[in-house]
């Protein structure tokens, strides 16, 4: 058939099926257009690249290496790249040359072409001026120091402006729930089995502390992310760069960004290794592991609502089933868990790529950039959505929580100081066999006075001060 389908006969009659050539043609088109994955450098990276070109131009002008007219055109073009006006002119796949030279040259050429266009609209004589991508836009730079610097700049900006604020909001929301649930008594659980009583507030205080610890870990990576390879050029020696170039570029970068960057103490380390990226990814992975645990706990605590734990009520954000009416799924918890799984996977790629530096250059810079910046973006979006669409709307089912305490065999633990471990265990076993509570069995056996039994089994007195 002309539309790429054919008719076939089966036991139920004629059916329309796609021609095999239809799918093969799609695969061939992808190969013909070259992109291996279709994944491009993210906006944050292109923005950082444009910013380096802009500041480099300004500094080269001040150092007398570029005349003012040329610098004016390059500066405007570079700022347009920084602001995202020419993102469609950066088509290169991240799976390219390992130094990222292809994308650095892409930026040089876009800026040179646009600068020439700008200059052609200026004073007489300037129109004939040739803006060269290497001689002018890339002056005092190499892909080998620019691309690592872009990774650090984009990552630190994303960390400070996006992820840390998102995690602070999540920590605050969990802390608020901890306070709101401070008087809700419930069972603790270890090994997925009933344990001694606690409060739901105590449980949530642990979640808030996990996020706070993650924020602290991410704060620790600022120092190494703030170190830039700029000024090292090809192999770290600084060939063809003015001695003051990197220092002056970074000073201006700090003024514009409000962040703290500095020139690398050792340019050979800064270009031959990507340890700061690996360290940052490790901190992101740790945060992802924490958030996964929190989301999974909330998913379990809200399970049911009648045949599961049902200790908390999870906000309904969409119909939970295409077939079962009224079902509420833990959508945002599961979304966060999948985001965390992706970040953990990204860390594996970053670890491998980080170990792949050879001599004076790591030749996996694009994949390092992609995975690190994606992890920052994913965790930011997932944390914001989880806080807004799940944590804020969580409610406690205090009655359900209290019922679980009354039925728990772990309550026998409170009788150990009075009866001893073996006698308390015997009460728990009998309670299990008979279907009674530990309190009922103890009362039936008359192991102690009712007043003393009630005092020992009062859940409020068993939770401690944590």
Of 460, 22, 421, 381, the closest CA to residue 199 belongs to 460
Concatenate the DSSP letters of all residues of 256-272 into one string.
Answer: HHSS--EE-S-HHHHHH
pLDDT for res 128? 46
| CA pseudo-torsion sign 135, 137, 142, 143 | negative
**Each residue's pLDDT tens digit, 231-251:** 999 999 999 999 999 999 999
Q: What would the pLDDT profile of 354-368 be if each residue is shown by its tens digit?
A: 999 999 999 999 999
- The CB density around residue 93, as the number of other CB atoms within 10 Å, is 17
User: Angle, to 10 degrees, between the axis of helix 275-301 and the axis of helix 331-354?
Assistant: 160
Domains (range + CATH), the chain? 1-33 (no CATH), 43-139 (1.10.275.10), 144-398 (1.20.200.10), 408-461 (1.10.40.30)
On the question of pLDDT at 20 being above 60, the answer is no
Q: What is the pTM of this model?
A: 0.91
pLDDT single digits (tens) 276-312: 999 999 999 999 999 999 999 999 999 998 899 999 9
Active site residue 375: no
Catalytic residue among 321, 322, 356, 408: 321
Mean pLDDT of the chain: 92
Q: Cα–Cα distance between 278 and 19 in angstroms, integer?
A: 46
List, in order, residues 6 or more apart from 232 with CB less than 8 Å away: 142, 144, 145, 238, 241, 246, 264, 267, 268, 270, 271
200 neighbors 181 (Cβ within 8 angstroms): yes
Catalytically annotated residue among 11, 158, 176, 191: 191
Please give the sequence-ordered ranges of beta strands (E in DSSP) within 323-446, or none if there are none.
357-358, 361-362, 395-396
Residue 191 annotated among the catalytic residues of the structure? yes
Confidence of residue 27 (pLDDT cuts 50, 70, 90): very low
Summarize pLDDT for 110-169 with one digit per residue, the tens: 999 999 999 988 654 454 468 999 999 999 999 999 999 999 999 999 999 999 999 999
Tokens of 11: 């036991």
Taking only the tens place, the pLDDT of each residue in 396-451 is: 999 999 999 989 999 999 999 999 999 999 999 999 999 999 999 999 999 999 99
Name the CA dihedral angle for 125, 130, 131, 132, rounded to a multiple of 10 degrees. -160
Residue-wise pLDDT for 323-377, tens only, equals 999 899 999 999 999 999 999 999 999 999 999 999 999 999 999 999 999 999 9
């Amino acid at each position: 058939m002309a539309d790429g389908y054919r008719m076939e006969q089966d036991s139920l009659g004629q059916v329309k099926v796609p021609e095999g050539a239809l799918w093969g043609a799609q695969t061939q088109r992808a190969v013909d257009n070259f992109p291996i994955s279709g994944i491009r450098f993210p906006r944050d990276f292109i923005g950082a690249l444009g910013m380096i070109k802009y500041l480099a131009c300004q500094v080269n002008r001040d150092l007398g290496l570029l005349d003012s007219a040329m610098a004016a055109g390059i500066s405007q073009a570079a700022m347009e790249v920084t602001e995202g006006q020419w993102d469609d002119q950066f088509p290169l796949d991240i799976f390219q040359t390992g130094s990222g030279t292809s994308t650095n040259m892409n930026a040089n050429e876009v800026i040179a072409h646009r600068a020439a266009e700008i200059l052609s609209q200026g004073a007489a004589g300037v129109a004939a001026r040739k803006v060269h991508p290497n001689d002018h836009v890339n002056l005092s730079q190499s892909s080998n120091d620019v691309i690592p610097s872009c990774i650090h700049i984009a990552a630190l900006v994303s960390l400070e402006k996006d992820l840390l604020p998102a995690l602070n909001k999540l920590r605050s929301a969990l802390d608020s729930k901890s306070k709101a649930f401070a008087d809700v008594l419930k069972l603790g659980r270890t090994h997925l089995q009933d344990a001694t009583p606690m409060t739901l507030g105590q449980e949530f205080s642990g979640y808030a502390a996990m996020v706070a610890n993650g924020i602290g870990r991410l704060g620790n990576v600022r120092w190494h992310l703030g170190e830039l390879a700029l000024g090292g050029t090809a192999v770290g020696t600084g060939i063809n760069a003015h001695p003051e170039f990197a220092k002056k570029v970074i000073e201006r970068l700090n003024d514009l960004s409000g962040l703290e960057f500095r020139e690398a103490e050792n340019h050979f380390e800064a270009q031959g290794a990507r340890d700061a990226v690996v360290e940052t990814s490790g901190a992101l992975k740790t945060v992802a592991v924490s958030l996964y645990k929190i989301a999974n706990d909330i998913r379990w605590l809200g399970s049911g609502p009648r045949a599961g734990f049902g200790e908390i009520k999870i906000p309904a954000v969409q119909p939970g089933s295409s077939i079962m009416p009224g079902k509420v799924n833990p959508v945002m918890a599961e979304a966060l868990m999948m985001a965390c799984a992706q970040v953990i996977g990204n860390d594996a790629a970053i670890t491998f790529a980080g170990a792949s530096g050879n001599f004076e250059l790591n030749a996996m810079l694009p994949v390092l950039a992609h995975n690190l910046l994606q992890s920052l973006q994913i965790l930011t979006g997932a944390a914001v959505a989880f806080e807004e669409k799940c944590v804020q709307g969580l409610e406690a089912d205090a009655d359900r929580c209290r019922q679980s305490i009354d039925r728990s065999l772990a309550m026998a633990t409170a009788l150990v100081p009075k009866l001893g471990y073996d006698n308390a265990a015997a009460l728990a076993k009998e309670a299990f066999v008979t279907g009674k509570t530990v309190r009922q069995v103890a009362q039936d056996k008359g192991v102690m006075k009712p007043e003393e039994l009630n005092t020992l089994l009062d859940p409020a007195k068993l939770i401690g001060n944590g």
